[in-house]
C-alpha cells in the first residue's frame, strides 16, 4: 500500500483550516442565530470560540503524538485502548463529513438557482462531481483550490466588516439586547458552533503535511484565532447595519447586509462569494472524509480496498469515489438547520471523546514524547481538556430530543456495522 505525499506547509495548512471553518455556516446560520440571541449574537460566537479553542489545544497535542490520517479514530482508539470506541468515533466523523458535504452542496445549488434558475439538485451533484475530481487529482491541487476559495471567502466577510464599520450607524444599538435572555444566547451558541467546526479535519491531512509535529499545532490554533476574530467582527458589523429581526428573517442574511449599504450590486457580489464559501466547505469535507476512510481501512477497521492509493496522484482514489457517491445520495434530502444541529451534536460527542483522550493518554502512554503539550497542568493532569469536556457535555444536553435521538441512531448504526464487519472478516 503506497503512502501519501507531503506537500502542505504552514501557510496552506492554516488556509486549509480557515477554509474549513469559514464555510457555509457563517453565510447561512448567522440569521437563524440572530433570532435566538438578538444583538448579543457576538457573545454566542465568543462562547463558540472558547469551546473550539479547548478542542483545538487537545487536537494540537494529539496530532503531534499520532500524525496520521483518520485522526479522531486513531486518537480515541489509542486513548481508550479500544478498537470499538475508536471505530464509533471514526464512523461519526465519516458520516458528518458526508452529510456536511451533501447539505452544503444543496446550499451551493440554492445560490446557483437564485442566479441562473438551474435546479438545486443538478448544481449540487455537479459541484460534488467537480470537487471530487479535484480531490482525486491530488492534495497539492486541493490545497491550492481551497486556498483560493478561502481568500475569496475572507474577502466577502471583509466586505461585511467594511460595510458595518465604515458607514455611520443609523439606529440605536444595545449590543446586549436579545429576545430570550441568556438561554437565547446559549441556543445561538450551540447553533453557530456549526460555523466553527472544521478545524478538526486539519488533523486528517497530517500525513500530507511537511514537519507535522511542528506545523500541525500552529496551523490548528492559527485557524481558530483568525476565524474567531473574523466572526466577532462580522456579527458586530451585521447588527450595526440592520436590526437582528431583519437578520433573523432573511435566508441570505449577509447578502442583505451588503445590499443595505451597497445596493443590489452588493447583494449580487455576496451571493457570488457565497458560492466560493460553500465550495470551500464541500471540497475540504470531501478531502477529509476520504482520508478518514483511508486511515481506517489501512488499520483494518474498514475493507482494505478503501486504503488503496493511486500510483500517479498519490490519493486514496477508491475512498474518494465512495465519499462522492454517498454524498450525492444524501444530497436528495436535507434541511440545513436540522442537519446542522445533527452534525454539531455528532461533533460535540467527538470533541468530548478527544478531550477525554488527551487526559487518558497522559496516564496510559506517559512515555510518549509530546512535542506539543496542552498548557496548564497539575502534574500529569491537563486542566483545559477537562474544561473542554465539561463544555461539550453541557452543549450536548442543550439539543432537542429529536436531534439527540438522531445522533444516537447514527452511533447505533456504526456499532451494528462494526459487529457485522468483524464477524464477516
Please state the three-class secondary structure of 204-235 as a single string: HHHHHECCHHHHHHHHHHHHHHHHHHHHHHHH
On the question of pLDDT at 82 being above 90, the answer is yes
For range 358-372, the mean pLDDT: 91
pLDDT-based confidence at residue 254 (cuts at 50, 70, 90): confident
Q: What is the pLDDT of residue 409?
A: 92
* pLDDT at 215 (0 to 100): 84
Give the range among 1-10, 201-210, 411-420 with minimum mean pLDDT. 1-10
Query: What value does the mean pLDDT of the chain take?
Result: 86
Highest mean pLDDT, choosing among 69-73, 314-318, 369-373, 380-384: 380-384
Task: Tell me if 268 sits within 8 A of 284, measured CB to CB.
Answer: no
Whether 336 has a pLDDT exceeding 70, the answer reads: no
Pick the CATH number of 10-424 from 3.40.50.720, 1.10.3720.10, 1.20.1740.10, 1.10.287.1080: 1.20.1740.10
More confident residue, 225 or 29: 225
Q: What is the pLDDT of residue 1?
A: 41
**Number of residues that make up the chain:** 425
pLDDT at 204: 63
The whole-angstrom distance between residue 223's C-alpha and the CA centroid of its chain comes to 11
pLDDT of res. 24: 65
Q: How far apart, in whole angstroms, are the C-alpha atoms of residue 29 and residue 253?
A: 8
Burial environment of residue 417 by CB neighbours within 10 A (0 to 12, 13 to 18, 19 or more) = middle
pLDDT tens digits along 123-176? 999 999 999 998 888 767 777 777 787 788 888 899 999 999 988 887 788 999
Specify the pLDDT at position 240: 93
- At residue 20, does pLDDT exceed 80? no
Mark 299-334 as b/e (b = at least 16 C-beta within 10 Å).
bebbeeebbbbeeebbbbbbbbebbbebbbebbeeb
Q: Name the helix (H) or strand (E) containing 381.
A: strand 381-382
**Is 70 exceeded by the pLDDT of residue 56?**
yes
Residue 246 has pLDDT above 60, yes or no: yes
Cell numbers at 250, concatenated = 432573511
Q: What is the pLDDT, as a whole number, of residue 185?
A: 94
Mean pLDDT for 189-214 is 77
Confidence band (pLDDT; 50, 70, 90) for 337? low
Tell me the mean pLDDT in the region 311-332. 86
d(CA 259, CA 64): 45
pLDDT in tens, 340-357: 778 889 989 999 999 999
Amino acid at each position: 500500500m503506497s503512502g501519501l505525499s507531503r506537500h502542505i506547509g504552514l501557510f496552506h495548512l492554516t488556509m486549509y483550516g480557515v477554509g474549513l471553518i469559514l464555510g457555509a455556516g457563517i453565510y447561512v446560520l448567522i440569521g437563524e442565530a440572530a433570532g435566538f440571541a438578538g444583538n448579543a449574537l457576538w457573545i454566542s460566537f465568543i462562547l463558540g470560540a472558547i469551546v473550539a479553542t479547548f478542542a483545538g489545544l487537545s487536537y494540537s497535542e494529539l496530532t503531534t503524538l499520532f500524525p496520521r490520517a483518520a485522526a479522531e479514530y486513531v486518537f480515541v482508539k489509542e486513548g481508550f485502548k479500544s478498537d470499538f470506541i475508536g471505530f464509533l468515533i471514526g464512523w461519526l466523523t465519516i458520516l458528518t463529513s458526508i452529510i456536511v458535504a451533501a447539505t452544503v452542496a444543496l446550499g451551493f445549488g440554492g445560490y446557483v438557482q437564485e442566479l441562473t434558475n438551474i435546479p438545486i439538485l443538478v448544481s449540487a451533484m455537479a459541484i460534488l462531481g467537480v470537487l471530487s475530481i479535484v480531490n482525486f487529482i491530488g492534495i497539492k491541487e486541493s490545497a491550492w483550490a481551497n486556498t483560493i476559495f478561502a481568500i475569496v471567502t475572507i474577502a466577502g466577510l471583509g466586505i461585511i466588516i467594511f460595510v458595518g464599520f465604515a458607514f455611520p450607524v443609523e439606529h440605536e444599538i444595545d449590543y446586549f439586547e436579545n429576545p430570550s435572555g441568556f438561554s437565547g444566547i446559549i441556543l445561538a451558541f450551540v447553533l453557530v458552533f456549526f460555523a466553527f467546526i472544521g478545524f478538526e479535519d486539519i488533523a486528517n491531512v497530517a500525513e500530507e503535511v511537511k514537519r507535522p509535529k511542528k506545523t500541525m499545532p500552529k496551523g490548528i490554533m492559527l485557524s481558530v484565532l483568525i476565524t474567531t476574530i473574523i466572526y466577532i467582527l462580522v456579527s458586530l458589523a451585521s447588527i450595526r447595519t440592520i436590526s437582528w429581526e431583519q437578520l433573523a428573517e432573511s435566508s441570505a442574511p449577509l447578502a442583505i447586509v451588503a445590499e443595505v449599504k451597497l445596493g443590489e450590486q452588493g447583494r449580487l457580489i455576496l451571493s457570488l462569494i457565497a458560492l466560493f464559501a460553500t465550495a470551500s466547505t464541500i471540497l475540504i469535507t470531501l478531502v477529509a472524509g476520504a482520508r478518514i476512510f483511508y486511515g481506517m481501512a489501512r488499520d483494518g477497521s474498514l475493507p482494505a480496498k478503501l486504503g488503496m492509493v493511486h500510483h500517479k496522484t498519490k490519493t486514496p482514489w477508491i475512498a474518494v469515489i465512495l465519499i462522492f457517491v454517498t454524498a450525492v445520495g444524501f444530497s436528495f434530502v436535507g434541511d440545513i438547520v436540522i442537519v446542522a444541529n445533527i452534525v454539531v451534536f455528532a461533533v460535540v460527542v467527538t470533541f468530548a471523546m478527544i478531550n477525554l483522550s488527551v487526559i487518558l493518554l497522559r496516564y496510559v502512554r506517559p512515555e510518549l514524547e509530546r512535542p506539543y503539550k496542552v498548557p496548564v497542568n497539575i502534574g500529569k493532569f491537563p486542566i483545559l481538556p477537562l474544561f473542554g469536556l465539561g463544555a461539550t457535555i453541557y452543549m450536548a444536553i442543550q439539543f432537542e430530543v429529536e436531534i439527540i435521538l438522531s445522533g444516537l441512531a447514527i452511533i447505533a448504526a456504526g456499532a451494528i456495522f462494526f459487529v457485522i464487519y468483524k464477524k464477516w472478516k
